[in-house]
């Protein structure tokens, strides 16, 4: 339940006012997403009478945290739909855009129960939205279902496209901010327990520069705060989902200190399963040398995650993994693992053909496609003509297509009989095969039509 108005009295209000000034000064070039629209501008505060009028009209009681913002900090501004400064494109003015989620009869449903809650499972969300996704649903029933799904939720701002931040008006989570997509992806609650805490965190991340970085990500979709505070939350819970949220919050930091890395390393040693994997990811991002022996051990459990972590955070050290790849590549049958494997090989600037050629005959079609693509990246790809010929005769169209593309720049007459075979196999276009075949035939003065008349030695 929401806390009383006293929680949102002078101290936090004054902090937010001061931080708004600091945020505008810090982001003077308006680099934070949406800042060029809202320009850190807020309009005049609203009166208690105006709030009572809205509450009476919609038969709701607004959360105290939100009312404190409107009456003490500001309402509306210069952004999209006259929104005030705030996350993304800001905060809608009071009473505006209330029908962004429920298009008809918003008044009827705004006062209703909120059925959304944090960490809602995909299964529950699918059950909740099952009827509205039916092709045969009537317009009337569609609106009723929207009301059921988004009842008790007040849209308070847009994030662009079909995404919004909204405020829970009723029930256990009253005052919480929830991220909602009108295309009906599973809603995601922010981690703060009320609107003002959420807004203040946004200001903190502007002032600290977090939201001005290129890979800042979407505000409010990950846990925020100081690393030490996140670690306190991590160690205070036995809920692995909460622990995972905490580790993600640490992972998105730009840097962490040695003491924190020591804690992460010790926790890695005593953890297992998904949590251990996430701890290893943090170690790899912030201290590859420290993570290396653990990565070697973890390769026995998951090559995919080891290859991913190295590629994402330490690709300059890709050559460290050549031996592991040589020992394991013939056993890789998962296309995602294979993709990250060859990404590392490419970073090594070596002739990796000897490793990739055997994979052109893997039972997994996606692996064969990737193998031919990677062979096509080699400067000496003409050395692997026999492998390409196998690909040109593959039973899968995607493989033939990729082999043709990969042979760009290889003008060897030994390929002509196989090109002729493709022209005969595909009398009409399928999967852009003939388009690519004609690109390969052009240097020979041929096309998919004329090559059929060419007499070639068997």
Query: Tell me, what DSSP letter sits at residue 99?
Result: T
Per-residue pLDDT at 274: 94
Q: Which CATH number fits domain 351-458: 1.25.10, 1.10.20, 2.60.120, 1.10.260?
A: 1.25.10
What beta strand segments (E) does 161-276 contain? 163-168, 177-181, 188-189
Based on C-alpha coordinates, what's the Rg of the chain? 29
Residues 6+ away with beta carbon under 8 Å from 199: 16, 69, 86, 87, 91
Separation of alpha carbons 456 and 106, rounded Å: 74
**Whether residue 83 has pLDDT greater than 70:** yes
Per-residue pLDDT at 23: 98
351-458 and 5-212 share a CATH fold: no
Which of these, 414, 435, 417, lies nearest to 426 by C-alpha position?
A: 435
The Cα angle at residue 32 between residues 28 and 36, in degrees rounded to 5: 70
Q: How confident is the model at residue 3 (pLDDT cuts 50, 70, 90)?
A: low
Which of these, 250, 213, 196, lies nearest to 70 by C-alpha position?
A: 196
Per-residue pLDDT at 458: 59
Residue 253 CB neighbours (<10 A): 15
Separation of alpha carbons 336 and 320, rounded Å: 20
- Find the mean pLDDT for residues 151-167: 95
List alpha helices for 79-136, DSSP H.
106-110, 122-129
**Whether residue 417 has pLDDT greater than 60:** yes
Burial call 405-429: b when 16+ CB within 10 Å, e when fewer:
bbbeebeeeebbebbbebbeebeee
Is the separation of the CB atoms in 277 and 305 below 8 Å? yes
| Global pTM value | 0.83
**What's the pLDDT tens digit per position in 127-145?**
999 999 999 999 999 999 9
Q: How confident is the model at residue 104 (pLDDT cuts 50, 70, 90)?
A: confident
What's the whole-number average pLDDT of the chain? 95
**What's the pLDDT tens digit per position in 44-69?**
999 999 999 999 999 999 999 999 99
Residue 451 C-beta-side C-alpha neighbours within 13 Å: 27
**DSSP assignment of 372-413, as one string?**
HHHHTT-TTGGGGHHHHHHHHT-SSHHHHHHHHHHTTT---G
Q: Report CA-CA distances (Å) from 267 to 236, 240, 247, 257, 279.
A: 14, 13, 11, 16, 8
Per-residue pLDDT at 456: 80
**Whether residue 6 has pLDDT greater than 90:** no
Per-residue pLDDT at 287: 98
Per-residue pLDDT at 239: 93
- Find the mean pLDDT for residues 275-300: 98
Per-residue pLDDT at 103: 87
Q: Report CA-CA distances (Å) from 447 to 108, 420, 424.
A: 66, 9, 12
Which of these, 269, 219, 265, 264, lies nearest to 246 by C-alpha position?
A: 264
**Whether residue 8 has pLDDT greater than 80:** no
CATH number for the domain running over 5-212: 3.40.1580.10
Evaluated on CA atoms 387, 389, 391, 394, the torsion sign reads: negative
Instruction: Indicate the range of 4-8, 18-22, 422-426 predicted with least confidence.
Output: 4-8
- Find the mean pLDDT for residues 318-337: 97
Separation of alpha carbons 272 and 131, rounded Å: 40
**What's the pLDDT tens digit per position in 176-224?**
999 999 899 999 999 999 999 999 999 999 999 989 987 777 899 999 8
Which of these, 384, 326, 397, lies nearest to 374 by C-alpha position?
A: 384
Q: Do the bridges between strand 163-168 and strand 177-181 make them parallel or antiparallel, or are there none, so unpaired?
A: antiparallel
Per-residue pLDDT at 106: 86
Per-residue pLDDT at 254: 87
**Longest CA span, the chain:** 93
In the chain, domain spans: 5-212, 222-298, 351-458
Is the separation of the CB atoms in 165 and 181 below 8 Å? no
Burial call 363-399: b when 16+ CB within 10 Å, e when fewer:
eeebbbbbbbbbbbebeebeebeebbbbbbebeeeeb
Q: Do the bridges between strand 188-189 and strand 177-181 make them parallel or antiparallel, or are there none, so unpaired?
A: antiparallel
């Amino acid at each position: 339940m929401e806390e009383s108005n006293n929680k949102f009295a002078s101290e936090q209000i004054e902090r937010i006012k001061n931080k708004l000034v600091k945020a505008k000064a810090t982001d003077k070039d308006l680099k934070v997403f949406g800042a060029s629209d809202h320009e850190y501008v807020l309009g005049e505060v609203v009166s208690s009478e105006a709030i009572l009028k809205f509450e009476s009209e919609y038969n709701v009681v607004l959360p105290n945290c939100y009312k404190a913002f409107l009456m003490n900090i500001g309402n509306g501004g210069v952004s999209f739909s006259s929104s005030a400064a705030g996350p993304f494109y800001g905060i809608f003015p009071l009473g505006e855009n209330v029908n962004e989620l429920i298009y008809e009869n918003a008044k009827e449903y705004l006062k209703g129960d909120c059925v959304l809650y944090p960490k809602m499972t995909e299964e529950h969300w699918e059950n909740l939205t099952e009827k509205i996704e039916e092709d045969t649903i009537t317009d009337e029933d569609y609106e009723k279902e929207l009301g059921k799904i988004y009842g008790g939720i007040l849209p308070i701002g847009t994030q662009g496209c079909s995404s919004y931040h909204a405020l829970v008006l009723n029930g256990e989570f009253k005052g919480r901010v929830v991220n909602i997509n009108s295309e009906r992806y599973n809603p995601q609650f922010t981690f703060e327990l009320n609107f003002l805490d959420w807004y203040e965190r946004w200001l903190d991340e502007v002032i600290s520069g977090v939201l001005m970085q290129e890979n800042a990500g979407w505000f409010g979709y990950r846990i925020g705060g100081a690393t030490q505070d996140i670690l306190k939350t991590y160690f205070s819970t036995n809920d692995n989902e909460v622990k995972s949220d905490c580790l993600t919050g640490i992972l998105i930091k730009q840097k962490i200190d040695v003491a924190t890395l020591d804690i992460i390393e010790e926790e890695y040693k005593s953890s297992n399963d998904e949590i251990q994997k996430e701890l290893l990811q943090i170690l790899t991002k912030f201290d590859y040398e420290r993570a290396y022996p653990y990565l070697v051990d973890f390769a026995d459990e998951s090559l995919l995650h080891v290859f991913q972590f190295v590629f994402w955070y330490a690709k300059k050290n890709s050559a460290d993994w050549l031996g592991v790849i040589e020992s394991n590549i013939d056993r890789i049958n998962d296309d995602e693992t294979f993709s990250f494997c060859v990404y590392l090989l490419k970073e090594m600037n070596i002739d990796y053909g000897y490793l990739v050629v055997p994979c052109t005959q893997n039972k997994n079609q996606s692996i064969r496609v990737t193998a031919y693509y990677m062979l096509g990246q080699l400067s000496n790809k003409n050395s692997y003509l026999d492998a390409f010929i196998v690909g040109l005769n593959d039973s899968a169209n995607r493989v033939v297509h990729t082999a043709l593309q990969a042979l760009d720049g290889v003008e060897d007459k030994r390929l002509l009989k196989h090109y002729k075979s493709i022209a005969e196999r595909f009398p009409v276009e399928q999967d852009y095969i003939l388009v690519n075949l004609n690109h390969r035939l052009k240097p020979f003065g041929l096309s998919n039509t004329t090559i059929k008349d060419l007499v070639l030695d068997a």
